[in-house]
Amino acid sequence: MADAAPVQSVPVPEPVDVVAGLKGAMRRLASGVAIVTALGDEAPVGMAATSITSLTMDPPAVLVCVNQSAGIHAHLSPGCPVSINLLSRHQRDVSAAFGGAVAREARFGVGQWTPDAHGLPILEEAQANLSCTIDSLTPYGTHSIVIARVEGVRLSDAVDPLIFQDGAYL
């Protein structure tokens, strides 16, 4: 009988607080940056978002996670139109404005915006613009999961997205 290979012990990582660990883990995930816009009471509202993904192609839909404390949240409900603007690398100023660096009422002064078929602002020179209608909004913890049916798409010629990772743009 052959001698068994010696067993090597694997170091066990120190326990991490789950919330702090999850935040640290998600900072390692590179994400595209988008601006989500909706119709407010008197003017359009918008927010920067990195928690956006395609959900299905039949029907064409996307999933967006929105903090319930975000100003746009009160204007989101099933049947409401939203636009999702996937930012180009040169649009860091737009991301910063909608991320809170500019007052809500002045955000649409950053970048060049034109209305879509619903009258929502869509950003010129974005990687892509998605015109959508919300199908469902599901609260979960501090956020809501928004499922929006994509009804129109406009693509730019170049593929040069704005990417965010570990608190900075790449």
Domain assignment present for 16: no
Mean of pLDDT over the chain? 94
Classify residue 101 by its DSSP letter.
Answer: I
pLDDT (average), residues 114-129: 94
Residue 8 predicted with pLDDT over 90: no
Q: What pLDDT, in 10s, does the model give residues 80-110?
A: 999 999 999 999 999 999 999 999 999 999 9
Residue 67 to residue 144: CA distance in whole angstroms: 6
* pTM of the predicted protein model: 0.89
Q: In the structure, what pLDDT confidence band is assigned to residue 63 with cuts at 50, 70 and 90? A: very high
Domain assignment present for 104: yes
Domain assignment present for 71: yes
Residue 97 to residue 15: CA distance in whole angstroms: 37
Overall domain count for the chain: 1
Domain assignment present for 13: no
Classify residue 128 by its DSSP letter.
Answer: E
Structural domain of residue 82, as residue ranges? 30-169
Domain assignment present for 162: yes
Domain assignment present for 11: no
113-115/44-49 β-pairing: unpaired
Domain assignment present for 160: yes
- Per-residue exposure over 48-79, b if at least 16 CB sit within 10 Å of its own CB, e if not: bbbebeebeeeebbbebebeeebebbebbeee
User: Domain holding 130: CATH number?
Assistant: 2.30.110.10
Q: How many CB atoms lie within 10 A of CB 30?
A: 11
Domain assignment present for 114: yes
Burial class (CB in 10 A: 0-12, 13-18, 19+), 85: buried
